[in-house]
Structure 1
Amino acid sequence: MLDKVTHIQFRKSLCFALLALLLAFPIMAQEKPELKIGGALRFNYNLSSWKEGQKKRGGDFGYDMFRINVEAAYKGIFLNAEYRLYSNDFGGGFLKQGWVGYYFNELDQIHIGLTQVPFGIQQYNSHNWFFNLSYYMGLEDDHDMGVKYIHAGEKFEYQLAFFKNAEELRFGNNSETSPNRYSYDITGRNKEVNQFNGKFIYKFGIDSASRLGISMEYGGLYNLDTEEMGDHKAFAAHYEITKGKWSGKAQFITASHNPANAEGEATEVVKMGAYGASYEVASDFNMYSMAISRNVPVNLGPVSNLQFYNDFGFMQKKASGFTDSYMNVTGVLVSAGSLYMYIDYAAGYNHSWLGGNFVDDFSKGDPDAKWEARFNINIGYYF
């Protein structure tokens, strides 16, 4: 379900090659197409504290996901796409990302299509296979349909984007947004439309080891029943640091959703969906997260590195009577050539994916809930 291994080396080398050609021959475009195909196959074992039958049989081990990645370039235009195939219960097959881009120069580029929303710490606000709480609210590794401009300077980075909507799969006049998707979006009787994003990063320290930034998001929520436009907005302040083998991430988010629902429908919650299912989320909340990791190089047969980490998240709900949500994941990423294995102990309190009631853990919650945990091993071969 969750993936931390990317293929950026090809993109970097391709960018530099294209730039060299454009600078050396300004009136000539790239005539030879370039293509790279990769992917991954993953399996998953889990043992959950709230599943009595599963505990009696010692957990379950099975298929997680198969994906295909395509990167291509021709005449200065490049493409990045990733299609994933899960089981039917987790949404089946869908596009995680798919966009075309163009480099104006070595610092500036543009992406058009299903591209990552520039908000918060990227690419991930976490180290583990489960991500952090921000992912489950659509604020970590989110992807939507639109256009994004990226500037990556030596000291400053910024991204500006406009997203027409989330991934649209049905195209009906009053069709609800399908939950068959990779990242969480608004579902039910509201639809995300006309969203603007801005993200600004200041880099400092030796080799720009520290990244301090802010992110802003504002967009519409179109209601299918009232045919009126509500809105949603979010702000984040974030900091990342890498020092030797250590890495740290800290982030604060405040978010608000104001749907234009039909009379009598609650506005204190919104519905969000991914992986084939939807649940309720509190409309207004603050979120705090911290993540730390340390790499330990080893020489144990094919194993070359162990990355130990702990990722923590706290969701503070603003509605009266709602119970807050927590998440903490302690684990290690084992790297062995093209094989990556996440070994996680994920604990949650009022967490839809970690025990309790899936439908409303992230909305009203349960004041009598107890912490639940899942021991998880994800094994993936990336090619």
Structure 2
Amino acid sequence: MVSKLKMVLIFISIPVISLFAQDKPELHVGGALRFNYNLSSWKEGQKTRGGDFGYDLFRINAKAKYKGVKLNAEYRLYSQGFGGGMLKQGWVGYDFTPENNLQIGLTQVPFGITQYNSHNWFFSINYYLGLEDDHDMGLKYTHNSENWLYAFAFFKNAEELNFGNNSDVSNSRYSYDVSSSGDGLYRNKEINQLNLKVVRKFSNGGANHMLGVSAQYGGIYNLDTENTGDHLALAGHYELDFGKLNVKAQVSKYNYNTKNPAGQSNDMIAMTAYGAPYLVASEGTTYTLGVAYSVPVEWGPISNLQFYDDFGFMDKKLNDFHDSYMNVTGVLITAGNVYTYVDAAQGKDQPWLGPVWGGALSEGTANADWEMRFNINIGYYF
């Protein structure tokens, strides 16, 4: 009888113990320290030196949870020349169920393949247009079940660091957003943006597929005219996981309808991140395709090699604008907590992969050459 009573008491106490365990705050702190080596074909001095090796970033990640309410934040510290300190993401969230989540704050925009539409350290050409791994200020609801993933979001604006009446967007940011060009021109901001993303997940023959569409629509407020234009982006995307193979494919179309002052072209907009703005064609279509294959190894601390190639093409609508290209071939080396990207990144009219910065993604350059940046990024993640 006593034994049976003990069993009943233990059975009753299990949910009570679980309940109290859920009331205990949880906090996890991590981060990363990264270094970078690069050698660029268009930098003669750098080629003479044999490339440059230096500091990339130090970052802190914090995740917390209490009574079902979650926090997720990541702060990055780059060198001053690349924008200095910046918040990549920072949101408060709540899980209504394991499949349904709400996030408020600086959260990833649900557009295209997420978290990344690429495999390499440079991302795809979409990133440099604000269409990959973008983070804005707003609210996002996500449903992620066995067969479906869909997200609805409203973003009041991009990261706002200057709260003046007509303040320019700060250049210190992780993801590319509409901004000012830095010379008093093209002074615009993103406002009141809506996003919708729907993905159908299915499997067959050991292959997992994710086929989806994304839509984005919002306002573009001009700081000089105080008039609001609009912008629209649409994407179709597909991702495949089959054993050690991963494939990402996406077609994205975007259009910015700006209300710039008389004398300023509406055929281009300014975008900024990492401390410096550049110009981008106001309308275009991008095509991206990435393929990766993982090879497990046992070479001391090295456990995996992921070989990849990511290609991107930006088709600008205006015929007198020269199109932009990007291709990155490389390998990700995993060794414990150390992740090393070894990339041969090639670009044509791509600001980070060539000698032209301000106009590479807008007007471009006639008869531009392919340029190459050999890059090694070494990061310890904790």
Say if 2:207 and 2:242, in contact at 8 Å, map to a contact too: no
Give yes or no for the alignment of 1:117 onto 2:109. Answer: yes
Separation (CA, whole Å) in 2 of partners of 1:192 and 1:271: 11
Q: What does residue 171 of structure 1 align with?
A: 163
Q: CA deviation at 1:21?
A: 7.5
Gaps of 5+ in 1: 1-19
Could you say which residue in structure 2 is the equivalent of 1:8? Answer: none
CA contact (8 A) 1:21 1:30 kept: no
Give the equivalent residue in structure 2 for 1:238: 237
CA contact (8 A) 2:289 2:312 kept: yes
Contact preservation (8 Å) 1:281, 1:363: yes
- The one-letter amino acid of 1:127's match is H
Q: CA deviation at 1:367?
A: 1.4
SS at match of 1:89: helix
Q: Give the share of equivalent positions with the same residue, in percent.
A: 61
Residue by residue over 1:281-311, the C-alpha shift from the partner in whole angstroms, topping out at 9 and shown as x without a partner, is 0000000000000000000000000000000
- Provide the C-alpha distance between the structure 2 equivalents of 1:355 and 1:175, rounded to a whole number of angstroms: 31
Q: How many residues align?
A: 362
Partner of 1:205: 203
The alignment's C-alpha RMSD in Å is 1.5
Question: 1:76-91 residue pairs with structure 2 within 5 A?
Answer: 76-91=68-83
In the alignment, which residue of structure 2 is the partner of 1:359?
A: 358
Answer with 1 or 2: which has the greater Rg.
Answer: 2
Q: What are the equivalent positions in structure 2 for 1:1-383 lying under 5 Å apart?
A: 30-188=22-180, 189-206=187-204, 209-383=208-382
Give the match for residue 13 of structure 1.
Answer: none
1:356 positional shift: 2.6
CA displacement, residues 310-361 of structure 1 (integer Å, 9 cap, x when unaligned):
0000000001300000000000000000000000000000010011310000
Q: Which residue of 1 aligns with 2:183?
A: none
Name the TM-score, length of structure 2 as normaliser: 0.93
Cα pair 2:120 2:308 within 8 Å, conserved:
yes
Letter in 1 for 2:127: Y
Q: With structure 1 as the length reference, what TM-score do the two structures score?
A: 0.92
Is the CA contact (8 Å cut-off) linking 1:356 and 1:369 kept in structure 2?
A: no
Letter in 2 for 1:360: G
Aligned AA (1:380): G
Matched position secondary structure for 2:128: helix
Task: Give the secondary-structure state (helix, strand or coil) at the position aligned to 1:104.
Answer: strand
- Structure 1 residue 31, shift from structure 2 partner: 2.1
**One-letter amino acid of the structure 2 residue matched with residue 145 of structure 1:** M
Between the aligned partners of 1:30 and 1:203, the Cα distance in structure 2 is 31
Q: Please state whether the residue corresponding to 1:135 is helix, strand or coil.
A: helix
Q: Please give the per-residue CA displacement for 1:8-37, whole angstroms capped at 9, x wherever unaligned.
A: xxxxxxxxxxxx979x75xx8932110000
**Contact conserved, 2:292 with 2:308, CA < 8 A, in 1?**
yes
Tell me by how many angstroms 1:106 deviates: 1.4
Preserved contact between residue 91 and residue 107 of structure 2 (Cα < 8 Å): yes
Identify if the C-alpha distance between structure 1 residues 233 and 337 changes in structure 2 by more than 3 Å, giving closer, same or farther: same
Which residue of structure 2 lines up, in the alignment, with residue 16 of structure 1? none
